[in-house]
Amino acid sequence: MDPNSLKAFIAVVDQGSFSEAAETLHLTQPAVSKRLATLEHQLGVSLIDRGQRQLQITEAGSRLLPHARRILDEVHNARLSMRDDPGAVQGHLGLIASHHIGLHHLPTWLRRFNREHAAVTLGLQFMDSESAYDQMSKRLAELAFVTLDDRMDRRFEVHVRWQDPMAFVVGPGHPLADLANPTLADLAHFNALLPEAGTSTTRAVSRLFLEASLSLSPQMPTNYLETIKVMTSVGLGWSVLPHSMIDETLKVLPLTEAVSRMLGAIGLRGRLLTPAARAMLAIVDELR
- The domain spans of the chain are 3-81, 91-163+263-287, 164-259
β-strand 91-97 against 143-147: which pairing, if any?
A: parallel
Of 23, 24, 16, the C-alpha closest to 54 is 16
Asked if 260 and 147 count as a contact pair (C-beta separation under 8 A), the reply is no
CATH code at 91-163+263-287: 3.40.190.10
β-strand 251-252 against 192-193: which pairing, if any?
A: unpaired
**CATH of region 164-259, choose from 3.40.190.290, 3.30.70.20, 3.40.50.300, 2.60.40.10:** 3.40.190.290
Query: What's residue 40's pLDDT?
Result: 95
H/E stretch holding 121 reads strand 120-126
Query: What's residue 34's pLDDT?
Result: 96
Bigger pLDDT: 112 vs 288: 112
Q: What is the pTM of this model?
A: 0.85
Average pLDDT, the chain: 93
Residues 205-251 have pLDDT tens digits of 999 999 999 999 888 778 889 999 999 999 999 999 999 999 999 99
Model confidence at 52: pLDDT above 90 = no
Domain 3-81 in CATH 1.20.1260.10: no
> Is the C-alpha dihedral spanning 221, 223, 224, 230 positive or negative?
positive
Interacting residues of 231 by C-beta distance below 8 A, sequence separation 6+: 193, 220, 237, 239
Model confidence at 183: pLDDT above 90 = yes
Which band of pLDDT confidence, cut at 50, 70 and 90, is reported for residue 153?
A: confident
Mean pLDDT of 25-36: 95
Mean pLDDT of 32-41: 95
Q: What values do phi and psi take at 154, rounded to 5? A: -70, -10
Residues 97-117 have pLDDT tens digits of 999 999 999 999 999 999 999
Same fold, 3-81 and 91-163+263-287: no
Mean pLDDT of 118-145: 94
d(CA 31, CA 11) in angstroms, rounded, equals: 13
- What percentage of the chain reaches a pLDDT higher than 70? 100
d(CA 263, CA 266) in angstroms, rounded, equals: 10
d(CA 177, CA 251) in angstroms, rounded, equals: 7
Model confidence at 288: pLDDT above 90 = no
Length of the chain: 288
d(CA 265, CA 245) in angstroms, rounded, equals: 20
Return the number of other C-beta atoms located less than 10 Å from residue 39's C-beta. 22
